[in-house]
Amino acid sequence: MTTETSTYTARPIPPGALAELRVADDAGRVPSPLTDDEGGAPLRCCLRHSRVGERITLVSYAPLRRWAAETGARPGPYDEQGPVFIHADECPGPEGDGLAFTNAHRVLRRYSADGHILGGELVEEGFGEREVQKAFDDPAVALVHVRAVEYGCFYYEIRRP
């Protein structure tokens, strides 16, 4: 769902974090950029699929760890890192507001203010504000991660408006 009236907004990886990831990812590895010959990689920097010929890189990203550093949360064993595609070079970020990557089944994983998992829900292709609102109906939910079903990969985060 990508509408201008959306209450919830998909939050891409912030520019400062992207700059750091392009030097060394959250696992301490130096990225290996490549030219995308096929297109279609889900880019977490601009929340769209890559296009043929773009320079992209696959990095290890720890979204909960970075959120915890902002908020003082202590996720403990819930801190995890996983692979995400980003542009190898700076990009302008997302075009427009709203929810992104709703073209397949996803998992909405809920987290408390201390960074602990409160549960998750499988949502159907084309999910939107109703499903996100349901995740936030519990006042203990501070943050929602949208993740792939197949690999559990992080797509983006949603915070309360």
Q: What is the pLDDT of residue 6?
A: 63
Residue 6 vs residues 79, 98, 103, 158: alpha-carbon distances, Å? 29, 5, 17, 12
Q: pLDDT (tens digit, 9 = 90+) per residue, 87-144? A: 999 999 998 777 899 999 999 999 999 999 999 999 999 999 999 999 999 999 999 9
Q: pLDDT (tens digit, 9 = 90+) per residue, 5-41? A: 468 889 999 999 999 999 999 999 999 999 999 999 9
Q: pLDDT (tens digit, 9 = 90+) per residue, 53-99? A: 999 999 999 999 999 999 999 999 999 999 999 999 999 999 877 78
Considering the entire predicted model, what is its pTM? 0.91
By DSSP bridging, strand 154-159 and strand 141-148 are antiparallel
Q: Which residue is associated with the tokens 């060394």?
A: 24
Q: What is the DSSP code string of the chain?
A: ---TT-SS--BPPPHHHHHHHTTS-TTSPPP--EE-SS---EETTTTEE--TT-EEEEEEE-HHHHHHHHH----GGG---EEEEEESS-----SSSS----SS-EEEEEEETTS-EEEEEEE-TT--HHHHHHHHTSTTEEEEEEEETTT--EEEEEE--
Report d(CA 44, CA 100) in Å as an integer. 10
Q: HSE (CB half, 13 Å, CA atoms) of 46?
A: 17
Q: Where are the domains of the chain?
A: 15-87, 106-159
